[in-house]
Structures are given as C-alpha cells and as structure tokens.
Structure 1
C-alpha cells in the first residue's frame, strides 16, 4: 500500500464478520485532496493496486472527494450486494467486479440504476447492458508459465496443446499446474463456463488432463501468479492478463501466452446500485473510467490493455484483435444462463468430478 491511503486493520474486519456473520472484507480510505465535501463508496472485487492509480487521478478531478473501497472476492460481493438489495438497504455507490455475470444478474433483479453520460458511449456494444452494467476494461484470459522452469519449446500455445502436454508428460507437471477453483471463485466459474462453450471436445480433454495432473486450484489470480513466480507451479491456466502483465513489469520470471486457438476477453464491470447514497458522484466515476483520460491511466498504470484491444509489449501469441482469436464475454442477457441455479449445479458437479476427483 502506498501514499496516504489508510488500510483498516484485518482485526476490525474479522471482528465485524464475527458479530454480523458477514464475510470479512478490507476497507481502504483515500482522503480528499482538499477539504472533504463528499464520499464515494466503492465495493469491489478487484486488486487494490490496480484501482489505486485510477482513484488518485479521479481525485485530481474531484479534489474534495474522499474515496473508500471495500474489497471482496467475487462471490462475497455478489451475495452481499444481493442481500442488501433484497432487504431494501444501501451498499455503497459503485460495484466493480470481474464477474460481470453476477453484475448482470443483480441488474436483472432490479438492483441497478441506469447510468448516463457522454463518456459511456466509448464502451463497445458488447460491454454495455441496458446502460446499467458497463465494461471498462479489455482483459484477455491467458496462460502463464515460469520462464526459469520451462523452455520455449515446451510452452503450449493452444488449449489443445496444453491438454496434450499434461497427458504426455504427466509426471513432470503433476501438482505443478494451477487454475481457479471454480466452486469458490465467481470469475473462475465464468471463465470455465465460457471455455466449455467454445469447443466441447477440447474442453473435455483439457479437464481430463488437468485432473490427471492433479491441478492446484486457488481462489484468485494473484495466488496462482505467486506460485508460478516462485517456481512451485510451472503453468497457470485461465488467468487475467492484466494481473499477469503487472507481475512481468515487476520483473518476475513469468511468461504470458495468448492462446492461439481462441482467447476469451473479459471486460471488468461497473454498476451503480439502485439505492446508492451518491448516485451523481457514482455516475461521474463510471464516466471517468470510460473517458479518454481514465482509459489512458488504465493502460499505463492499472489494467494495461485498452478497450480497443491494444496490448502492451511482451505478450506471446497472435494479436488478440487483428488475428480474430478474441472471444469477448458479452455483457448482456446471455450471462443470465451462467447464473441459472440448476445449470450452475450441474456444471460444478461435472467440473469437480473431472478436475478434483480424477486419479493420477
């Protein structure tokens, strides 16, 4: 944590959780630059380091605004926001989440309000649903590998190549491949669900290979990247490209591959809840995220990929836009299928049986 942001102690968060039964969260406050006149409350399922440059730049435009951020994992934000909506309560001014399917479900349940502003037109058509949920990033879903532990010749470049590598050299990769635990992670579930839509045959072979390799499952991209950087894992699968690139910028021995058969593209979502205490301020912030200025800060300091698909240097594989490999996860009603309870239950049962219970 840098600058003047004040991170509240984990002990307070845990105490609150123990009293209320709510999941523990962490709150960070960014004091106003000048005399405080208002407060923007953001509830987010995203790493704070990526949001901090955007928040500080927004405060340059609104110097009297104190910004507070409450951090969650995706499923906890979804359940907490849904509960507040059902109870008629207010939970902050803006929701930010990589699990855009969860935001679409909240909006469909009447928990979002329409947002207006000139900058919102910058969102691609596939990243705007009913002017209630907006995607503000372009994030390829990538494979990563440990540069010190794998030669260039070994690195898989497609989903099928990954499946075949794990099948062919099972002993070498057993326990050394990581991915999301889709039972716990909303974004992991969203990505796996969309993987299955691309090609059933390849997806089935990949699941089998991951199971035989005793894949390591984690809640979050950051945990998997930590283990890849340390060499405990050789490969990370289905990770957010922005987080991986931030590690490369730090000098960690991580390689990033855009899968050449298809690359899922996620747009992190923003939503203003129906009972936001400060809807006007929230609307200004969402407009900022999509503005030319906000996008410029995002490309240089936060999420590193532009909404136009421009990618930073050093990413291996075809250009995600010009090559035609991009498969955007459309922010819209099709995502409601992802949250269908019966379908979700079947999908998680199949995934668990293939990935968790397969014997080596």
Structure 2
C-alpha cells in the first residue's frame, strides 16, 4: 500500500540525510563544428549538455581559435556515464573532454582515477564548492525550477514552494491528475541527483510532495526536453525539478511557458567538466576548459547558453528574486566526496526502489 511504501521511503531518505531543440539526446549523436580557417587540430567533446546550449560556446571559442575543429557528441547522462566508465576501465580514448549535469557521476569517475588534474589562473577562480581536486570543475550556475503552462495553470494556483505544490495537488487533484511531470530517476542521471539532493535537504517536505505527486499520477520521463514539450502541448500543465537553463530557453520560444524559482530552497546545479586521463589532445581540452571558466566564456554562457549566473540578475520574465548568488535559500550541490554516496550502488538501488514504490506503484484514486 502507498502508506507503507511512503514510510519506507521516508526512512530511506532520512538515512541519506545522515550519512535539448529540446529533444531527447540519442546516444553518441555527433556534430562537427568545422574550423573557421584551415584545420590544424580537432577537439572531441562528449557531453550530456544539449547541443543547442553548447553551440554558442563552441562557436565563440572558435573565434579565438579559428584553426580548431570541434566534434561534439551529445548523450543523456546515464549513457555518457556508462561509456565513460567503460573507456576508463579499458584505458581506451573517449573524447578529450567530458561534460555532464550529473555531478555525482563525474565525481565517481574522478574518484575511480579517470580524470587528469589541471591548474591554471582560470581554474583558480572557481569557487571551492565547484572544484574537486582540480579534476572536476563546475562552469554553470543552474537552478532546479518549476515550469508551468499559463494557459492551464491559473495565477492563483502557481506554486512557489514545495509545500504549496503538494497542497495544490491535494486540493485540485481532479484537475491536475496526470498533468504533472518530473524526471524518471531510474533513467535520468540528473533527475536522480536532484531527487537525492531533495531527500537530504528536506526529508519531511519532500516525502509529502512525493505522496501528492503519486496521488496525482505524475508522469515521469528521462529528459528535460520531452517534459517541456509535453507542457508546451498542454498534455502536461506543470513540472517539478526542471533544469532552469533548458526551461528558460523553452519559455523564450513559447510565451505560454513560465519558470518559477522555488522560495523554500533552490537547488543549484553546476554543470561539470573533466579532462579524461585517456584524452588524445589534453592541450586542446585544457584550452577549452579555460575558456569555459573565463570571463568571456561565462558571459556567453549567461547570455546565450545557460542564462543563469551566480552573479547578476536572473533572466527577464522568471518568477523569482532579482538575484540568486547571495540568497539564503539557494543551495548549490557541492562538487565533492559527499556525492559519492549518491553513486554507492547498494544505496542507489535502495533509493530508486523506494522512490519507485512511493511515486509509481499506487493508483491515484487510492485513499
């Protein structure tokens, strides 16, 4: 029964507290950005970051390095992690640079000896919470947000905290049933990381929200893009824990979509990057990494790619405070050894099993 599953899940998360277009990426889909002038070298990037978000950064880097061609291979997070783990174990090349929003997976790879350390004047400027052992660096500042379609969610219904979202789904279950979306943490690495972080941040509140979403028969998906497309079409009305950069890009393209920064607490992802030990062109990887961390790269990321930044105003039209960097309710997910707990296989399996029982196993009509 749901109550029994919810109790089990609440106990599980209490234990953890103690110890794309927006299309789905196809594994290994690769695009070549030809050198602006005669090609002298080629950099290979394997990333779980939508091509549309990375393209402005790649093109701007090539303005500075016109003789470098760049191959960008786009993955979903779990697929990249599996490929990278296998390449590391077999000591075979898989590109020169790895990018992912699943920070726990990158930290796990680095902990397993898959990364090359790098120091420069640019890496020295990275905040301590976004730099682990000079091997994994965060280069973005992206909030996890609520997204809704204003055609279907009245102004009085718009939630701004998790408690308000849980109350809304209880109060108007008949209206929002099967109209709410979130990540399927069984298939989404970033979805799993956000759920894991939620569970550690606010056990009671998150458990109550899960129960409400279960009653509303929440629809789950691997990828931000597919959920945002469902909201744009009106098949879903709102979504929970979406990546802010992709959500804002969708809202810019469709004025019916609105983005809300939660006010109880806001998880911040810093999309991570590492240089694999098997890189064939570590010199080019270091140049691109320095560019991502540079003032120029950060400015392009804020204006054209990922839209949010630790310093500066939030994007126009986002429902939230004027800035994010100094607010007490902003909770960056620290890149560091604490994330290894998220990748412990036994704990990960238990967490996903408990989440699945709480969210997916019970019909919405059950008492």
TM-score (norm 1): 0.92
Counterparts of 1:251 and 1:347 in 2: how far apart (Å)?
35
User: What residue in structure 2 maps to residue 199 of structure 1?
Assistant: 202
In the alignment, which of 257, 260, 264 is matched to residue 261 of structure 1?
264
Measured against aligned partners, the alpha-carbon deviations of 1:260-314 in whole angstroms (never above 9, x if no partner) come to 1000000000000011000011001011001000011111100011243642121
Measured against aligned partners, the alpha-carbon deviations of 1:119-167 in whole angstroms (never above 9, x if no partner) come to 1123211100000000000001000110111111111110111111111
Question: Per chain length, whose mean CA-contact separation is higher, i.e. which structure has more relative contact order (CA < 8 Å, sep 6+)?
Answer: 2
User: What residue in structure 2 maps to residue 302 of structure 1?
Assistant: 305
User: What residue in structure 1 maps to residue 282 of structure 2?
Assistant: 279
Tell me if structure 1 keeps the 8 A contact 2:145–2:241: yes
Counterparts of 2:189 and 2:85 in 1: how far apart (Å)?
14
Counterparts of 1:111 and 1:358 in 2: how far apart (Å)?
41
User: What residue in structure 2 maps to residue 238 of structure 1?
Assistant: 241
Tell me if structure 2 keeps the 8 A contact 1:145–1:256: yes
The correspondence of residues 321-332 of structure 1 with structure 2, limited to 5 A, is 321-332=325-336
Number of aligned residues: 341
Tell me if structure 1 keeps the 8 A contact 2:232–2:254: no
State the 1:115 CA deviation. Answer: 1.5
Tell me if structure 2 keeps the 8 A contact 1:258–1:320: no
Contiguous gaps of at least 5 residues in structure 2: 1-19
Counterparts of 1:143 and 1:75 in 2: how far apart (Å)?
23
State the 1:317 CA deviation. Answer: 2.6
Tell me if structure 1 keeps the 8 A contact 2:310–2:325: no
Tell me if structure 2 keeps the 8 A contact 1:29–1:68: yes
Q: The residue matched to 2:155 in structure 1 has which SS?
A: coil
Q: Residue 186 in 1 paired to residue 194 in 2?
A: no
Tell me if structure 2 keeps the 8 A contact 1:116–1:283: no
Q: The residue matched to 1:272 in structure 2 has which SS?
A: strand
Deviating more after overlay: 186-195 vs 114-123? 114-123
Q: Residue 45 in 1 paired to residue 65 in 2?
A: no
TM-score (norm 2): 0.90
Counterparts of 2:146 and 2:164 in 1: how far apart (Å)?
12
Q: The residue matched to 1:270 in structure 2 has which SS?
A: strand
CA spacing shift, 1:222–1:119, aligned 2, 3 Å: same
User: What residue in structure 2 maps to residue 18 of structure 1?
Assistant: none
State the 1:193 CA deviation. Answer: 0.3
Counterparts of 2:178 and 2:205 in 1: how far apart (Å)?
21
Q: Residue 291 in 1 paired to residue 294 in 2?
A: yes
Deviating more after overlay: 111-120 vs 303-312? 303-312
The correspondence of residues 138-177 of structure 1 with structure 2, limited to 5 A, is 138-177=141-180
User: What residue in structure 2 maps to residue 16 of structure 1?
Assistant: none
Counterparts of 2:326 and 2:337 in 1: how far apart (Å)?
27
User: What residue in structure 2 maps to residue 8 of structure 1?
Assistant: none
Tell me if structure 2 keeps the 8 A contact 1:123–1:307: no
State the 1:322 CA deviation. Answer: 3.5
**RMSD between superposed Cα atoms in Å:** 1.5
User: What residue in structure 2 maps to residue 36 of structure 1?
Assistant: 39
Tell me if structure 2 keeps the 8 A contact 1:144–1:237: yes
Counterparts of 2:233 and 2:332 in 1: how far apart (Å)?
31
Counterparts of 1:212 and 1:152 in 2: how far apart (Å)?
23
User: What residue in structure 2 maps to residue 356 of structure 1?
Assistant: 360
